[in-house]
Amino acid sequence: EVQLVESGGGLVQPGGSLRLSCAASGLTFSSYNMNWLRQAPGKGLEWVSFISSSGSAIYYADSVKGRFTISRDNAKNSLFLQMNSLRAEDTAVYYCARGSPTTWHFDYWGQGTLVTVSS
């Protein structure tokens, strides 16, 4: 069974930093593209960042470009999101999600971790 478990969320002041982690199990992690998505309280879903299976291709949403950095450690079956210069509008539940191996939708999601940016 595929499991994705996020951690690292919490309360941070505007301008601060936070590092999210996603631990993967039940899959050959190194074979899959991975993504971070987020959902602000009471709002819809927003894709944040993509990293290819090898880490050679990386994309970001314009809203986080230059502030967030996605990375992965295939030896440790882990995905990361380094978030710097955080703003109030970054407050959201952050999900890691696997990219489907056959198309480009998101076929498995973690349960999410809440990031709150507030003074």
What does the binding site for another protein look like in residue numbers (CB under 8 A)? 35, 44-47, 50, 59-62, 95, 100, 103-107, 109-112
Q: Give least dist CB 16 to another protein, A.
A: 25
Q: Give least dist CB 119 to another protein, A.
A: 27
Residues 6+ apart with CB under 8 A from 2: 24, 25, 26, 27, 98, 108
Q: Give least dist CB 111 to another protein, A.
A: 6
Two tokens at 86?
């955080």
Distance CA 32, CA 20 (A): 19
In the complex with another protein, which residue's Cβ is closer, 25 or 100?
Answer: 100
In the complex with another protein, which residue's Cβ is closer, 56 or 103?
Answer: 103
| Nearest to 60, CA basis, from 90, 36, 29 | 36
In the complex with another protein, which residue's Cβ is closer, 15 or 65?
Answer: 65
| Burial zone of 114 (CB within 10 Å; 0-12 exposed, 13-18 middle, 19+ buried) | middle
Q: Give least dist CB 13 to another protein, A.
A: 26
Two tokens at 36?
């971070």
Backbone angles phi, psi at 24, to 5 degrees: -110, 140
In the complex with another protein, which residue's Cβ is closer, 15 or 101?
Answer: 101
